[in-house]
């Protein structure tokens, strides 16, 4: 993402086929009045199927992956030089193809000078803009590499990798725990996001409209929530050098109002093993440490409020980066003693061999 001399921020997202199809169906809706009954039935069935595809494939897209070390080390944009290209060419033409009309030749020289002046002015303005962006990104990159908590949150706010979530009725709010761990509060749409009726074509080409069974309705809604959670995870791991992200989904429940219904702790290594093009969202989330009974909620056809996971709930690691300083000092002292003993044995062995 970083060139030799300048960091370019590319906020473009790979457009999913489901989204393209959705827009095509919306264009067709304008002409729906002119369609035959069979064509209308096909259009409504396609629209229903596509809406489900959009809801259940949120996780399939991901923005660019950021290398903050490269950003922090990016070189400044090259300052433009006024090379007077147009003037040089006009002067050359005057020497080689002089018509003797001094007034015309002088006008051509003046026009060339003006072109050079305008192009240099535009290049200078572009340089200033790029330099300002470069300074901002390099400063942010250095703060992220240093593990600055606010830098992580600033990167999320400035780059906004989850802007597209609003299209699916979701939004995310992050909290910093340490340089390796973040948590995210994900607000998702209530069950109204899922169509309550299914629309399919009969063998005779007519439209069949049926209520979606409760268990199937909840399964779709659960997959929608999990798909949004996975999208948050993918974007977060692509943007920031974290190893663990705790995502808690909040939605509206009839009995208690807005409440957390599913919480899961995702690890970078675990997420990297997922095949996002073919996975089932709920099955994928269930693999990770989570809170929220998938089987119970499927059986009941509804979510229950849960207590969100926090870093203290996660399995502890024996890695040195999670140990306190006293433990580290103790380990270092033990290693020194062991190394000293090994060296003494080697010296003794060496002395015996020499004799």
- Asked whether 265 and 309 are in contact (CB, 8 A), the reply is yes
Alpha-carbon dihedral 276, 182, 142, 317, rounded to 10 degrees: -90
- pLDDT of residue 13 exceeding 50, the answer is no
- pLDDT of residue 6 exceeding 60, the answer is no
Find the mean pLDDT for residues 170-186.
93
Return the pLDDT at 4: 38
Which residue has 């943007």 as its token pair?
Answer: 239
Find the mean pLDDT for residues 19-43.
71
Return the pLDDT at 151: 93
| Percentages (nearest 5) of helix, strand, coil residues in the chain | 55, 15, 30
Residues 6+ apart with CB under 8 A from 279: 59
Angle of helix 214-239 versus helix 37-56 axis, rounded to 10:
50
Query: Between the ranges 32-41, 163-172, 308-317, 334-343, where is the mean pLDDT highest?
Result: 163-172
Return the pLDDT at 320: 37
Residues 256-286 pLDDT 10s: 788 999 999 999 999 999 999 999 999 999 9
Helix (H) or strand (E) holding 263: strand 257-267
Which residue has 């003693």 as its token pair?
Answer: 337
- Asked whether 175 and 182 are in contact (CB, 8 A), the reply is yes
- Asked whether 265 and 317 are in contact (CB, 8 A), the reply is no
- pLDDT of residue 311 exceeding 90, the answer is yes
Residues 57-110 pLDDT 10s: 999 988 889 999 999 998 988 888 877 776 677 677 666 666 666 677 777 777
Q: What is the mean pLDDT of the chain?
A: 81
98 or 124, which is more confident? 124
Which residue has 């409020």 as its token pair?
Answer: 305
- Asked whether 271 and 234 are in contact (CB, 8 A), the reply is yes
311 or 344, which is more confident? 311
Find the mean pLDDT for residues 220-227.
94
Determine the 3-state secondary structure of 166 from DSSP: helix
CA proximity to 105, closest of 115, 91, 118: 91
| Phi and psi, residue 2, nearest 5° | -110, 130
Q: How confident is the model at residue 143 (pLDDT cuts 50, 70, 90)?
A: very high
Percentage of residues in the chain with pLDDT exceeding 90? Answer: 39
| Gap between the Cα atoms of 309 and 210, Å rounded | 38
Return the pLDDT at 184: 96
CA proximity to 168, closest of 250, 248, 57, 26: 57
Token reading at 249:
């989904």
Token reading at 69:
């070390």
pTM score, whole prediction: 0.72
Return the pLDDT at 121: 83
Determine the 3-state secondary structure of 74 from DSSP: coil
Q: How confident is the model at residue 126 (pLDDT cuts 50, 70, 90)?
A: confident
Return the pLDDT at 39: 82
């Amino acid at each position: 993402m970083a060139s030799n001399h300048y960091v370019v921020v590319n906020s473009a997202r790979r457009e999913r086929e489901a989204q393209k199809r959705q827009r095509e169906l919306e264009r067709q809706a304008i002409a729906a009045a002119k369609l035959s009954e069979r064509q209308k039935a096909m259009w409504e069935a396609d629209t229903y199927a596509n809406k489900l595809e959009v809801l259940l494939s949120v996780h399939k897209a991901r923005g660019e992956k950021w290398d903050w070390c490269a950003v922090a080390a990016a070189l400044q944009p090259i300052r433009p030089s006024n090379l007077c290209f147009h003037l040089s060419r006009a002067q050359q033409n005057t020497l080689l193809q002089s018509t003797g009309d001094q007034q015309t030749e002088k006008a051509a020289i003046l026009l060339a000078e003006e072109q050079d002046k305008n192009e240099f002015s535009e290049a200078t303005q572009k340089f200033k803009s790029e330099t300002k962006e470069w300074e901002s990104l390099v400063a942010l990159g250095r703060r992220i590499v240093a593990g600055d908590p606010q830098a992580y949150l600033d990167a999320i706010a400035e780059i906004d990798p989850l802007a597209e979530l609003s299209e699916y009725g979701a939004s995310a709010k992050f909290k910093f725990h340490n340089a390796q761990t973040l948590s995210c509060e994900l607000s998702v749409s209530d069950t109204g996001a899922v169509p309550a009726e299914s629309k399919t074509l009969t063998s005779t080409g007519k439209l069949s409209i049926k209520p979606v069974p409760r268990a199937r309705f909840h399964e779709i809604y659960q997959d929608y929530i999990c798909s949004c959670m996975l999208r948050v995870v993918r974007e977060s791991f692509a943007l920031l050098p974290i190893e663990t992200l705790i995502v808690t989904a909040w939605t509206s429940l009839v009995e208690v109002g807005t409440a957390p219904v599913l919480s899961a702790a995702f690890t970078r290594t675990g997420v990297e093993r997922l095949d996002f093009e073919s996975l089932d969202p709920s099955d994928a989330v269930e693999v990770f440490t989570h809170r929220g009974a998938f089987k119970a909620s499927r059986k009941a056809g509804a979510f229950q409020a849960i207590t969100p996971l926090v870093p203290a709930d996660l399995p502890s690691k024996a890695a040195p980066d999670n140990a306190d300083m006293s433990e580290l000092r103790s380990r270092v002292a033990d290693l020194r003693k062991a190394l000293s003993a090994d060296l003494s044995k080697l010296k003794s062995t060496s002395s015996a061999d020499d004799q």
